[in-house]
Chain A
């Protein structure tokens, strides 16, 4: 399997623009997680899905952030409008069963908002 695939790998945008990050989980994995990594906060869980349904979005920082999973093979994380403080690395991860073992991460999307 190709692993978790994220795009874009790097995104530079200006404040106020809409940003869409994409993720393709590993085929067969029922769980999908979005994390944000910053120096100050470390690795924060933003939202996770089970069988395409959002289960816990309590980590989403504010209404500017939204996430969808229209099918088992695709998820998006959207920021509208973006702000400089959103600059971070965003990771997508997937798993068959979070308790059973490894959570598989994508390579991350590095977002810079100017």
Chain B
């Protein structure tokens, strides 16, 4: 069965530091999709990125970057030069091609300290 593990429950860093959020997944399918969502203190869930299993290129979007490594079943998320507004809970998620359900990890609560 598919599974997503976010081992870091809570992380605190000082503003402007870089921080990496880990995501490890398990799947028996060869075709699958990975996601990251952000949940700011206001509570809504904000989509950040989707990646399919055939595309292992790293992605960069401004201060955000994602490192997808099939060899280690990981899809890590890095925030460069963190800002207080990055404080949120971040969720990693997985869906398999043959199964439409989307499974989330337990989330990592990120505190950016001024």
A residues in contact (CB < 8 Å) with B: 31, 33, 35, 41-45, 48, 50, 55-56, 89, 91, 93, 98-99, 101-103, 105, 107-108
Contacts and interface: CB of A to CB of B under 8 A. Distances in A.
Nearest to A50: B100
A44 B47 CA distance: 17
B91 A48 contact: no
A50 B33 CA distance: 19
Contact of A43 (B47, B95, B97, B107): B107
A45 B96 CA distance: 15
A98 B44 contact: no
A56 B104 contact: no
In the A-B complex, the 9 residue pairs with the smallest Cβ-Cβ separation, listed nearest first, are A42-B106, A43-B104, A102-B47, A105-B45, A98-B100, A42-B107, A99-B33, A98-B95, A101-B50
A27 to B, nearest CB: 19
**A interface, over-half SS:** strand
Contacts of A105: 44-45
Given A42-B107, A43-B107, A102-B50, A55 B44 contact: no
Interface centre among A42, A107, A108 (most CB of B within 10 A): A42
**B interface, over-half SS:** strand
Nearest to A33: B102
A96 B56 CA distance: 25
B59 to A, nearest CB: 14
A41 B104 CA distance: 10
A45 B91 CA distance: 13
A33 B103 CA distance: 11
Given A42-B107, A105-B44, A107-B44, A55 B102 contact: no
Nearest to A30: B100
Interface in B56-114: 91, 93, 95, 97, 99-107
Nearest to B43: A108
Given A56-B101, A98-B95, A103 B35 contact: yes
